[in-house]
Amino acid sequence: MRRYSRVGNFYGGSRVQKLFPRPYAYRHVVATLHGCRSNLLDDKLVVDTTLKAIQKANMQLAKTGTQNPLVYKVADDIMGGGVSVNALITTSHLTIHTAKLHGTVEFDCATCGCNSNPWAALETFKRALKATHVTIQYEHDEVEKAAPLPLN
């Protein structure tokens, strides 16, 4: 199976670069949850749901020297206010951005290793925020361990 990625250059153009399989399992899901009730998009519920999603997805919150998860609350902006939560997990990240005006939640979760499941984290958010539907923006599931590439 061939995988390609667009890589920008200094002049604003792009070229195509072939990606080689990773030597470890990797999962990444980016999605938009639609129809979320705006009264559910407050910082406390989103943080609580983030912590629950990490547990349900068999992930662990990383121990850091700063607050984790990091929470940024916006009172009012062009999106009608909302909250951003960025959780560093031991195998990568779980990031959430809400837009109260539109009743949407942007979900981004990446993990390394076979044991964690970003789909379970997404389902936790879907249920807690009562989303009417979900649009998957990007998904990548590479769970078979690839052979290491030669270094020459």
Q: State residue 1's pLDDT score.
A: 42
> Tell me: the pLDDT tens digits for 125-151?
999 999 999 999 887 776 654 444 344
> What's the whole-number mean pLDDT along residues 9-34?
69
> Tell me: the pLDDT tens digits for 42-66?
889 999 999 999 999 999 999 999 9
> What's the whole-number mean pLDDT along residues 6-35?
67
Domain boundaries, the chain: 23-142
- Above pLDDT 70, what percent of the chain? 79
Structure tokens at 19: 């990606």
Q: State residue 143's pLDDT score.
A: 63
* Cβ atoms of residues 137 and 30 within 8 Å: yes
Report field, pTM of the whole predicted structure over 0.85: no
Q: State residue 19's pLDDT score.
A: 62
Structure tokens at 85: 């939560």
Class of domain 23-142 as given by CATH: alpha beta
Confidence of residue 41 (pLDDT cuts 50, 70, 90): confident
* Cβ atoms of residues 128 and 45 within 8 Å: yes
Confidence of residue 5 (pLDDT cuts 50, 70, 90): very low
Say whether pLDDT at 25 is over 90: no
Other beta carbons within 10 Å of 31? 22
> Tell me: the pLDDT tens digits for 87-127?
999 999 999 999 988 999 999 999 988 788 999 999 999 99
Q: State residue 80's pLDDT score.
A: 77
DSSP codes joined into one string, 8-75: E-TTS-EEEEEPPPPSS-EEEEEEEEES--GGG-SHHHHHHHHHHHHHHTT--BPP-SS-SSEEEEES
H helices of 96-135, in order, are: 118-128
